[in-house]
Amino acid sequence: MKKKLVLIMSLLMLAWLPLAAQETTPAVDGATRQKIKDELLQKYGAAQKFRIDRGVEQTAALWRSEDGGPEEFCDYCRQHFVADPAILDAAFKKMEFYSEVIGGHFGEMGLDKDQPVELNWGEITPLDQAMNQFNPAAHITDDLFASKISFFTLLNFPSYTLEEKMTLASQWDRGQWAYARMGGGNNTRIPAAVNQKISSLMADAHRYVSEYNIHMGSLVDAKMKTYFPADMVLISHWGIRDELKARYADKQGLFKQQLIYRVMERIIRQEIPP
């Protein structure tokens, strides 16, 4: 079983390899980036320099040849860079709304489709497993970039490093933090095939854990005495954890906790088959 879990996690890492095969040469060269930066700076003034510099660089970092050539890139920046604070705030609120709508509905779909696996609906069939592995949102990143909606966020909302956030934290209000969160939530471009592969492998790993059950009634001491109900079956992670905590209110709790602790050690060593 240990080998199985290691294999799943290894495959999860391998799922990211196609990213390395993407374009390594920027689709937008330095001269083009500097050209549009200078143009926007001249139009909107020095007060917008930081946002222009970072916005153009963020957009260029994820711009691919299929998104257009250098002139298309410049046209996009000209048309979609927002300098007016009121218009920018209105755009933020709309992006916030769109994110909630899209993310919320995909989240709801994920919860609904996984019920046959997550709840006690009887035997889990191959169809249930296939649907559990399926990610209905796998193509959303590709679609948002293809429609250039994702570039709007990259262009207008700067992303900050952890070090920058630590430095600026005391100066930011709630709104500035929200802007930073918006900017940091859209700085990867993972292909749909990779997203789907990740979802499939994560589903396999989750199912491996959820099916790793401990039959507590089988735990006995040296005299073959059991301390748990014969029909108690606990999932190896959450169930065992919760049972360990629950024994604090039990007069025989310490010994039961020691039994559970020994089980947890054997789970870690993968000595108990699921």
Q: What are 110-167's pLDDT values in tens digits?
A: 999 999 998 889 899 999 999 999 999 999 999 999 999 999 999 999 999 999 999 9
Q: Is the same domain home to 186 and 217?
A: no
Q: Is the same domain home to 74 and 162?
A: yes
Q: Is the same domain home to 116 and 228?
A: no
- Of the pLDDT bands very low, low, confident and very high (cuts 50, 70, 90), residue 23 is very low
By 3-state DSSP, what share of the chain in percent is helix, strand and coil, each rounded to 5? Answer: 70, 5, 30
Q: How many structural domains is the chain composed of?
A: 2
Phi and psi torsions of 192, nearest 5°: -55, -40
As a whole number of angstroms, the distance between CA 135 and CA 195 comes to 8
Q: Evaluate whether 148 touches 72 at the Cβ level (below 8 Å).
A: no
Condensed to tens digits (0 to 9), the pLDDT of residues 159-195 reads 999 999 999 999 999 999 999 999 998 889 999 999 9
As a whole number of angstroms, the distance between CA 61 and CA 237 comes to 40
Give the three-class secondary structure for 136.
Answer: coil
Q: pTM (2 decimals)? A: 0.77
- Among residues 183, 179, 181, which one has the least CA distance to residue 153? 183
Q: Evaluate whether 234 touches 216 at the Cβ level (below 8 Å).
A: yes
Mean pLDDT across the chain? 89
Q: Is residue 112 part of a domain?
A: yes
Q: Is the same domain home to 236 and 133?
A: no
Which residue range is the domain that position 170 belongs to? 23-190
- Among residues 71, 68, 67, which one has the least CA distance to residue 32? 71
Q: Is residue 37 part of a domain?
A: yes
Q: Is the same domain home to 264 and 148?
A: no
